Amino acid sequence: MEGKEEDVRLGANRFSERQPIGTAAQSQDKDYKEPPPAPLFEPGELKSWSFYRAGIAEFMATFLFLYITLLTVMGVKNSSSQCSTVGIQGIAWAFGGMIFALVYCTAGISGGHINPAVTFGLFLARKLSLTRAVFYMVMQCLGAICGAGVVKGFKKGLYESQGGGANVVNPGYTKGDGLGAEIVGTFVLVYTVFSATDAKRNARDSHVPLLAPLPIGFAVFLVHLATIPITGTGINPARSLGAAIIYNKHHAWSDHWIFWVGPFIGAALAAIYHQIVIRAIPFKSRP
């Protein structure tokens, strides 16, 4: 009996096999300890190999993300018939599927951000330091530029004639429409990231199995389905910057501010909503 009691005390058998659902589940007395917020500045990180390894992981993930997704976009635009290609749905699947795969691969190394807006939202929630946030954003942008550059290298003429996958506000929509679409789309993505990676929720709702990269990738897929006709779907400033720099035509820059301002506003709103409203659900913790 002593061994079993020790297991329970350590948490090995903390949760019973049959868990209540709904509000009953939220009121269960489960162990959870809120981690301290990340320091604003953490100079010690600069001496750690894991810090640079995480940055390299963000670079490679964003590079591969742009490589696969922009090639998909170029393939669709180069086709004479939508029936002979994957179409808008295929583009949305390419973006969502790559996020699913890349978050799965890099979550244990860097957190699998692959997006400056996600990094910004997590920074506002004090999940990482300013040092790491800035480093991640720089590496993400560099990875995106390199990924778009490789796509252009396959067939420069096709790349330039088809817009290079650069994000612009499409005809029939105003800049306000584009900004709103980017704000709401990024809100959906970052809110999903917070919910899927929330340790407090995972402890409270341990009876609900969750593979974090799956809802994140699916959120990206759904947002692309909704907003490709409006802006081509940015919701990722690094993706928009990489395509704009490599394409480097005037119209790619005329609306470019939307694809930074919109995602950063959406990320900030998602961080505020999740941290202040959603995480306010009562949660009992053992002393």
Between these two residues, 285 and 138, which has the higher pLDDT value?
138
- Which residues are CB-contacts of 17 (< 8 A; sequence separation ≥ 6)? none
Whether 132 shows a pLDDT value over 60: the answer reads yes
Q: Give the tens place of pLDDT for each residue, 223-267.
A: 999 999 999 999 999 999 999 999 998 888 999 999 999 999 999
102: its two tokens? 């890349």
pLDDT at site 27: 43
Range with the poorest average pLDDT among 145-154, 163-172, 181-190, 208-217: 208-217
Is 140 within 8 Å of 58 (Cβ atoms)?
Answer: yes
Q: Give the tens place of pLDDT for each residue, 16-44.
A: 433 333 333 344 445 667 778 888 888 88
Range with the poorest average pLDDT among 1-10, 88-97, 150-159, 269-278: 1-10
Gyration radius of the chain's alpha carbons: 21
